[in-house]
Amino acid sequence: MTQKVAVVTGSSSGQGYETSLILARNGFHTYATMRKLEGEGPKEIAHIAKNENLPLEIIQLDVNNDNSVSDAINKIANEKNRIDVVVNNAGYDLMGALEETSVEQIKAQFETNFFGAVRVMQAVIPMMKKHGEGIIVNTTSLGGRISFPLNSAYHATKFALEGLSESVRYELEPFGIKIIVIEPGGVGSNFLNNLKMATKTSDPLNAPYRSMENRISEYFEQWSKNAIHPSEVAKVILQAVTSDNPEFRYVVGKDAAIALESRRNMSDKEFYDSIKKQMNMQKQFED
């Protein structure tokens, strides 16, 4: 049998790093792609691949750049003439009040989290159509189904990727191409270390945002203590792409499952009030 080929974006750390390794360990010729080839992450994954003799290659791919995406996919096409699995994982989180977030920052967030996935999908779909099969995995988030305060740009990108995935699923099914959405809850990884903050203003009328930030920071500090390891997300991705009949959505993490169940069973107002209560926000404007 021809060895299957997988491509994973954002593989220098976290979920992408673990997904690249688990796919390679399970027989996929895996291209671990990343924006920068320098740093500890690329060195570590290369060291592991060499020691374990894994079918894993590291190549440069910046999802924000059309040429970088096309160059990487063309390189793989020339070497393997097939791509069976693509995992769109590259992304980052931008936090801050919408009022204090510049349009440029929001555009940059969409460029990576949304249009980055679009670029990769458009690059690989023709090859998958040619072979009459393929799997595209879009990593969204619990934040693609539920929104939290001070995260509007991030949620917008993840909601958008969810909607795109639902629509394109109809388009690609006749060509044998499956779309899978992975929705992790809290994941302990470098994702939080790569968190970007919106530009703040000195306007005293915006003081309530500072109070909200403090409360949410406290909440997420506690939340992060129960975050799952990125390898747990990678295991679910492996399960999905090796299944004969994969689900469309995979919720990963107990926190995500509980939150989504609560959302299903509550009215909009009930859920809105529950989020405020969890984050101790009821009296924020009294501070």
* Bridge partners (DSSP) listed for residue 197: 95
| Sheet with 56-60, edge to edge strand ranges | 56-60, 29-34, 5-8, 85-88, 134-139, 177-184, 249-252
Instruction: Please identify which of the residues 31, 154, 209, 250 carries the catalytic annotation.
Output: 154
- Backbone φ and ψ for 157, nearest 5 degrees, come out as -70, -40
Question: Are the C-beta atoms of 82 and 3 separated by less than 8 Å?
Answer: no
All residues at 6 or more sequence positions from 155 whose CB lies less than 8 Å from its CB, including other chains: 143, 144, 147, 148
Helix axes 152-172, 103-110, angle to 10 degrees: 30
Helix axes 14-25, 40-51, angle to 10 degrees: 10
Question: Are the C-beta atoms of 141 and 186 separated by less than 8 Å?
Answer: no
Cα 136 from Cα 169, distance rounded (Å): 10
Is residue 154 part of the annotated active site? The answer reads: yes
177-184 and 94-95 strand pairing:
unpaired
Residue 133 in tokens: 């099969």
Active site positions, annotated = 154
